[in-house]
Structure 1
Amino acid sequence: MDLITSISHNELMLSMSIAAYLLPFLFHTCLSVDLTYYMKEGDNPNTYLGDVASDSNLMNTIPHQDRNLIQFVFLNQKDTDRPFLFSISKRTGKLYSAQTIDAETLCTRNTECFIMVDVAVRKATSFIKIIEVKIIIKDMNDHKPEFPLKQFSIEFSEDDKKGIRKIIPSAQDGDIGLQNSQITYHLKKNIDEPFALNVSRSVDGTSELVIILQETLDREMKASYRIQVVAKDGGSPPEQNVLDLYISVMDVNDNPPVFLQSIYNVSVTNEHHGVSPFIILSASDLDSDKNGRVVYRYSPQTSDAAKSHFKLNEITGEIFLQKKFLSGQKLTHELYVKATDEGVPALSSMAMVQVNVINQQNNAPKIEVTFVSVSNSHTILENIEVGSFIAYVKVIDHDAGLNGEVTCDLHHDKFQLQTFNTKKYKVIVKNPVDRETQDHHDITIRCQDRGSPPLSSVNKFSITVMDTNDEKPRFSKETYKFTIYENEKSKIPVGYINATDPDLGPGGKLTYSLLTSNKNFLPFYIKDNGLILTVMRLDHEFQEIYHFQVLVKDSGMPSLNNTVKVIVKVKDKNDNAPFFTFPNVNPFTLNVHYHPYRTNNITYLRASDSDSRENAFLKYEILHGNDKQLFIVNPYTGLLSFNRVVTLRDAGTYSLQLGVKDSGIPVQTAMTNITLRLTVSNKTSEIVNPMHVQSENKIQLYLVVVIVVIAITVSVPVTAAISICIIRCNNRRNVSNDNHSSLCACEQRNTKCPFHVSPSWPRVPMVQTADGAMSSNSLPPRPKKGPNLGNEFSCVDNCTDNKAASLPPDSDIIYQGLLLQP
């Protein structure tokens, strides 16, 4: 009968243990879970757990063109002590472990070890779904059973009867899994030793070990025994440990306290708070004296939160509610009470008190706001789309009935509150935001229950609008114009290019650069602050004006840019001296034949200056060699001409030093020398007695008239014949005189003669170079050198003077010089 009672009691204890184990499992199974994954404790970080995107069939509901915009992120859970146990790929939704997980640290013993995570699915900046994922952590057999002592001593009385029981310490296994923490025991002893081991399970999952006396003991035959208790867990492979047990033969406490029932179920309200107990536990002990006196204490399996609310009287077994429950606190608590007698060794038993808290109070709802951004910060980008999910609002109100029914509202022109689930909301963007207009927004969420009277709560927070690169740089001018003098040193500032950008951070950080083509070289560079400088000395004569563009761009993503036109004008300095282009050699020889009936102009001096404006405004002058004041030069045109009437006595060679100067500051000058060989026509002397020339002409005319009259009177044929002869004779003389006046026949050496220019030639300087080529296409070709001629032309002035009167007195003749080779 005792054996049947013992078996029934063990089966009952095992059933209660299994029920206690399955109760949390069934509770978690009722939770709303979208996906479940499994992993082993001790797995390395980055262990692949599952594909949230694929397993949730989410991607099948999203258009193909939008799938690249989908991102997966964790919602920060405020009730999670370890927010970095797992990681998820933003793009693929694949879930991995983030560190090596110890199941014993996370979970309690003999319970299913799992972690709940919320995965938010985001499209661009908008959150579209939250997936609740349950990750079950499989316990590994990484702990062996451990006895509290390496050795333990018990005593049996020599008058103890068969079946006397002695409790010994049981082993504890640190693993939380049912198999890995399930310990089996066996006794290692000699075959003649009268002891057996009995194992029973308590409601808290622990084992109670009892050494049973199988035969009566005779202390005089053997006073002590040494046996071993081997504890082995149910892992694969199993782990084990050994307790050395020393048994002394004497009288001991052999009856443990016994509760009336092993599980108590009670309900309490906050009205139980006070001096009255809501339950009294009682455990009876058949022993007497101190072996039968029982004390009550909480088992280590009782949570600290339960101990803080429920006070246990260790002597009487009374349990009191010493602290009221607040809204939102746990409503079910398990109290594990251990009854222990004062015998040696002490015997004990365990009972569980399940307390159900009935909440009848009305408490104001509690508002929790969690931002769904990656950094969980109160910030959004100014380019966020309308309708974007920015915050997750969870309302906590554990009151019963209408006291727990809550409604929430949010009044704002940019944001609104939408119902997400029961007592869950989401804050979305209602209208576009602009940082440049307003960089932050104050938001108030108000929630109120339906109690009587209704209670409400307010949660206020601010959202900061972060800048995006939506403004391109702007210039203060459409065109920048700068002026700089030539010949300045390199790295001379030209001017500033000023651009502004209202964006912040990299979006407002500007860099400048010059836009040039491969064909054009710009002698400038620009610094980061927009200052343009030269890279070399500039030359006005090389290039007077530079046209180019400046590119400014910010450092935002993507970068925005703008361009502006820049004109740099190089101002001239008087850095170039004038130089003669005619004459183009120094010294220069010019042969001039003067004829009184021709122009007084000799030639034009020509000079050039590479500078511009006043620095290139030239003036000519005769510096030396004009002692007779025979020559004069026009200071502006450079025309060299005779200053007075030329006589035969003026013939000769003149060494003229001519100068040209510009009008710059300081003045730049140039000089050249002309050797002018002047020959004067013989007709110059006839100008002294013009009446003689007139009377000679009159005599010739009278002679012709007399001859004609005589011829007419004598005979018509004779007169006609004579007249014809005279006319023909006179024509021959005229032709001969014309030929001699237009061109001199060169017959003698070492006698120089100029080329006379007809009045129809243009008034430009004509220069005959050393090889005889003329500087103007209108000039006749140079006569070829004869075999006996050197580098000079020789001729005899055979020109007659009787045709001089036929030239117009104001004909503009410019005398051309002959360049003589040394």
Structure 2
Amino acid sequence: MCYSGLRVTKTMGYRDWRWQALWWHYVFLLWSTTNGQTRYSIPEELKQGSVVGNLAKDLGLGLSEIFDRKLRIASEAGEQYFSVDAGKGELVVNDRIDREALCSQSASCVLPLQVVIEDPLQLVRVEVEIQDINDNAPRFPSNDITLEVAESTGLGVRFPLESALDPDVGSNSLKSYTLSKDECFTIRVKEVAGGRKVPELILAKNLDREKKAVHKLLLTALDGGNPVRSGTAQLSIRVLDINDNVPTFEKTLYKVSISENAAEGALIVQTKATDMDDGQNGEIEYSFGAHTPDNVLSVFSIDHTSGTICLKGRLNFETTANFELDISAKDKGSPRMEGHCTVHVEVLDVNDNAPEIILTSHPKPVREDSPDGTVVALLSARDLDSGVNGKVTLKLPKKSPFALKPSFSQNYALVTSGVLDRENVSEYNIEITATDSGSPPLSSKKIIPVSITDVNDNPPIFTQPSYNVYLKENGVPGSILYSVSASDLDSDENAKISYSILDSKVQDVSVSSYVYINSDNGSIYSMHSFDYEKLKVFQIQVQAKDQGSPSLSSNTTVHVFILDQNDNAPAVIYPSSAALGSLSHQRMPRSAKAGHLVTKVTAVDADSGHNAWISYKLAEATDASLFTVNLYTGEVRTKRAASEQDDSSQRLLIEIKDDGEPVQSATVTVSILLEDGLHEPILDLRHKVAEPSRKTGRITLYLILSLASVSVLSLVTFLILAVKCMRNSTSSGNCCTTRTDCDHYKNPNRNLQIQLNSDGPIKYVEVLGGDMMSQSQSFRSCMSPMSEYSDFTLIKPSSTTDFKEVISVLDASLPDSTWTFESQQVRRKHPLILILNKTTFFVYFVRNILNHRFRTVQSNRVPAPTQPLRCNT
């Protein structure tokens, strides 16, 4: 590619055809890219903005990619001499380039550039070779040179002069010297070690001080540039008498090597010169040349008498690898004669510089799901030492999920090489160790921080797999039920959680009609008030979902248990007031004795537990001394025998209360009519049954004995079960939980109907028979060591029809209970309703112990069902 942007400043003057050919050689110079490296060549001193080359085209990039991939130039030299024209993709000169300042007199001057391209990261090395132009004229160290030459000096004697200095190199460097015309002196150029050209003044004709004591000559130094540049110095030669021998060194050039870590005072070399003269004309004094630079004088010293050169300061191979010392030997004659030699000191490298790690591009955050080989950062290693001492190797810690991928010329890419998990390690401080190959090796370390960005790879986790919530019924709609909480190990959007309720059915109604949830904090609120008698338990499926992409979720179950409140008053089952309002009419013979059963009031409460325990109380009576009401059974009996003075119409107001808080109550009015003629039919009936009773007396005795035996057996069984439960208190609290314990209770009667019902965590068993007897018996027993009271009742109504009425009333007041009834009118069968709580299972067996049905006829006795008591823990 040609460099159309290169221009030559006008101050260069006229160029002949040879310079033009050289210039177009630079202009049309091609670069090559080998192993990711591009090279350009330009002359020095180009104007700012001069085009070096089309960098975008050479790198295969479009103009849009310069912006998108953030192409930039990083110079290893520290000075930003070049920049990229983002509009054209060209590499242009950014600052003045002085080859002599950059590379001194080195034959090759190359500026290394690093082109950093991001997204993805890419590093390209670009070398720009700076070609020398003839912009420096030769210059003598001093514009006035004075020599003293004895008139007796023979023809052909040479006098070395100070060389002119030209910073340019190659053909532009110093080439020749000229001397103004003089019949006694001529000039000759001598090339010494290192290619340095030293002018020598040659005496061509004998001097005659009397004719000319001082010779004034103009010494001109010329370079090889086009056009030629020159520098001059005024040469003054004073002609002296006597001392006609010049001190002569044994060697005109001394070569010495010394290690850069040599101690101060170390011997460098011993120079020696001789003078054939005698006396003071032969005494020699050694010194450095008159124009020796200060950096040499600060490092070396010379003994004026012996000519020994010693180390005075510290050597640094990386700063100066070679020294050339101009040594002068002068005698003490008059005029003083002077001889010269050169000492070349080579500094040997020592491994005294630790390697250095340079970040070419700053590390970028890495996704935790990045594949192996993902570039994290670009870096390079550098050691100021040379050879083996400058060879650097880089190491990463063991078990690091990163690796170094070599690129070129001590450049590396830091890439991923293992599994990254932000939840375990969110940021790595990667310690890179650089070690050189010197002896002993030197090393240095650099820590590169690399942050790991989150990926949505963790679902929200609830604090509990399930929640139990206990809620009182009749609560205020909109009140908070519970707050579920979930956490997510991810961060930012991936950790933001929203809560929702999954659709499900509660009593064939969507759960969303019962509750709703705050999607931000997981608080669950009720939509309306709950009624324990209609709904005892239900479940809510709550989902927690994060806002990642794709989003992750998890579920939990919230079990809501409705707690009973005393919000139902007792309902009177018997006497039925459906047809008579709240007034019940009963008849009683005036001949009734004390303790006579007049009637029985039966009530139930739709609540549960203590809220359903019912007590009966006589609130008002026409004659309070005549009647009494049993507190627990509701039986109305006579306290004394009725007399003729008692009113024939008695009215009783019976109050029925539950055991809740606050107390709920109901009243029933019983009207009793005292009649005189009711005892006749009863007496006749007694006479009629007297004769058969004699025949069955013996059977009755056997049955009573059997009933007593079974009762004792049952009591012993209950006691054994109670002791077993108390000993087993660390278990689940169930008394009869194994199959073997309950096997002997199976099928006590073919017509016995057992049904297990479940209402969430609340379980209960119903045991029903086929027919009921006219009398009721109540049994009270604690079946669980975890409960204080447990009640169950055998209900034996006198007819199937009456029991159906009781069941209908209970079913109306307790809609959540399951009642079953077998409508067969089979005698001698007993129903049993056994209600269990969530922690206790009761087993109760019913034995058919009666083979005959006994009818007990009693005057004015009205059969009535008793209230079934629930077993509550």
Indicate whether the TM-score tops 0.5: no
- TM-score of the two chains, using structure 1 as the length reference: 0.44
- TM-score of the two chains, using structure 2 as the length reference: 0.42
